[in-house]
Amino acid sequence: MRNENIAVSAPTILLISYHFHPSKEIGARRPTTLAQYLVTKGVRVVVVSAFEGGQIDAGAEILPGITAIPVRRSQSSLIGFFVSLKRSVSREAGSAAATSRDSETSLKRARPGFAARCRTGFFRVAYFVDEYKKWGWQASHAAVRAGRHYNARLLLASSPPDSVLLAGTLTARRLAIPYVADLRDPWTDTVATLYPKHRIELKLLRILERCVVNCATAITSTGSTVAETLARRYRGVREKIHVVRNGYDGEYRCTSTDTGGRLAILFAGELYAGRDPFPLLSALARLLIRPGIDASRVSITFMGKAATYGGQDVIAWRRDNASVVPLTVLPQQTPAVVAKAIDASTVLLNLAQQQHLSVPAKTYEHLSSGRENLLICENDSETAQVVAGISGVKQADPRDPAAMEEVLLDLYRRHVMEGRLTAPSMSEVEQFSRAAANEQFWALLRSIAPLDALPAEPRVLQPGVPGRSRQ
């Protein structure tokens, strides 16, 4: 559907976000639901995005009141060449290792070949900031055209990827309108943690981060730790930094607290970096061999991309410990199957280790689920701080095996012996709803730009609206 007749009475907000509806990425939820909320406030939202998962025409109404300016992402042929080179070098390295296993010392002294050094150098340059730089540049040009055409009053750029923040900075300068930089994830602090040896890249990224922070009229962060870090790092920006957390979608679920005398733990998701299940599994194994513990009343299910972690085979661990721990490992399921599994569980497991600066989206979803939450994360992490004091959330530090075992014992006593679970209450978690976050955004946006409607003057768009449907 194309917006042929648009009243200029509706103030326009320009939104740049790589992920947006109909993308299935979890990062699409925040900008999509915010855009929908803004429409209910009488605002027209023009979205510049890749719109992955759909073929969208420029100027189309992708959702009621939301105009799409699609910018397709194109893959560099040079990057494709080096990816092929990487695979070739990897095969050669594997072959060499296979024929010289008796010569480990010489392998340790061997220097990377010329092709490998070229490949490494290329990717460090090509992926500086991230691999979306070209898309960000194209998105900025499309956003400038759209902003001028629709007379945008305010720009909001939501990352990741981080190139979106740079695109927002360029666009805001050319349009001379207020700019809100939304950091859903930390930027340079993540680089400093993951790649501490890349000092040159970090210094250059800090220059770009400073540019974005100084240019933005307001900065929003999903975490208070990141917000405080930015405020300390860059002088004079504290007053324009705001914490607007992620949140759960939909309504809070009121469900039965009767466990049926079971302790049924469910993890539904992916075991990516940091989400180490083995400390919990080991603690559970120790609990179940204690005298007086009825292991037949306990179950734990992994559902999703959870067959391996860090090169370790979860399924193999299950086989080796089948006589002790009743672990079920299932592949990725449909949302309907996951919802049914949540209803059948008594505890939802959230693995959030090694994420000191951010709060996984799963944390908020669990708070509204009507199930008790088991959170595995470091005591000094942002996630632990967010849930502190909320009833129905049991948090354990993976570095403290004894404390983790005690948490599991407490769950066993209440769920199995007493037959009751404790879910977070609505009054405790409604502040973490997506609706509450959108209200925060609306108050902030209204404080920095005039968003009240002007007298209606219909305008008919001519063919060739801003943006391009094919990049």
Q: With helix as H, strand as E and coil as C, how does the chain read?
A: CECCEEECCCCEEEEECCCCCCCCCHHHHHHHHHHHHHHHCCCEEEEEECCCCCCCCCCEEEECCEEEEECCCCCCHHHHHHHHHHHHHHHHHHHHHHHCCCCHHHHHHCCCCHHHHHHHHHHHHHCCCCCCHHHHHHHHHHHHHHHHHCCEEEEEEEECCCHHHHHHHHHHHHHCCCEEEEECCCCHHHHHHHCCCCHHHHHHHHHHHHHHHHHCCEEEECCHHHHHHHHHHCCCCHHHEEECCCCECCCCCCCCCECCCCEEEEEEEECCCCCCCHHHHHHHHHHHCCCCCCHHHEEEEEEEECCEECCEEHHHHHHHCCCCCCEEEECCCCHHHHHHHHHHCCEEEEECCCCCCCCCHHHHHHHCCCCEEEEECCCCCHHHHHHCCCCCEEEECCCCHHHHHHHHHHHHHHHHHCCECCCCCHHHHHHHEHHHHHHHHHHHHHHHCCCCCCCCCEEECCCCCCCCCCC
Do 229 and 276 belong to one domain?
Answer: no
Local confidence pLDDT in tens for the 471 residues of the chain: 444 444 456 899 999 999 999 998 888 999 999 999 999 999 999 999 999 877 889 999 999 999 999 999 876 544 444 445 444 444 444 444 434 434 444 434 445 665 555 555 444 544 555 889 999 999 999 999 999 999 999 999 999 999 999 999 999 999 999 999 999 888 888 776 766 666 788 889 899 999 999 999 999 999 999 999 999 999 999 999 999 999 999 899 988 999 999 999 999 999 988 899 999 999 999 999 999 999 999 999 999 999 999 889 999 999 999 889 999 999 999 999 999 999 999 999 999 998 888 899 899 999 999 999 999 999 999 999 999 999 999 999 999 999 999 999 999 999 999 999 999 999 999 999 999 999 999 999 999 998 876 544 433 344 444 444 333
| Residue 470 resides in a domain | no
In a shared domain, residues 160 and 87: no
Question: What pLDDT sits at residue 458?
Answer: 39
Separation CA 279–CA 180 (nearest Å): 41
Strand 298-305 to 12-16 pairing: unpaired
Q: What is the pTM of this model?
A: 0.81
Q: Check whether residue 409 and residue 304 sit in a common domain.
A: yes
Q: In this structure, is residue 454 part of a structural domain?
A: yes
Domain range enclosing 103: 77-126
What pLDDT, on the 0 to 100 scale, is given for residue 53? 72
The reported pLDDT for the residue numbered 128 is: 53
Residue 302 is assigned to a structural domain of this protein: yes
pLDDT at 130: 84
Cβ-in-10-Å burial (0-12, 13-18, 19+) of 297 comes to middle
283 and 303 housed in the same domain: yes
Q: Give the model's pLDDT for residue 340.
A: 96
CA gap 359, 393 in Å, rounded: 15
Confidence (pLDDT) at 189: 82
The reply to whether 257 falls in a domain is: no
For residue 333, tell me if it sits in a domain. yes
Instruction: Please check whether residue 255 lies inside any domain of the structure.
Output: no
CATH number at residue 440: 3.40.50.2000
Residues 234 and 361 in one domain: no
- How much is the pLDDT for 117? 52
Considering the domain architecture, whether residues 322 and 424 belong to the same structural domain is answered as yes
Total domains, the chain: 3
Same domain, 214 and 271: no
Which of 126, 154, 187 is at the close of a domain? Answer: 126
Q: Has residue 469 been placed in a domain?
A: no
Task: Look at residue 465 and tell me if it is in a domain.
Answer: no
- Identify the pLDDT of residue 104: 44
Same domain, 441 and 419: no
Residues 419 and 373 in one domain: yes
Give the pLDDT confidence score for residue 287 in this predicted structure: 95
Residue 188: the pLDDT is 83
Residues 178 and 240 in one domain: yes
Q: Based on the domain organization, do 90 and 151 belong to the same domain?
A: no
Assess whether 282 and 423 both reside in one domain.
yes
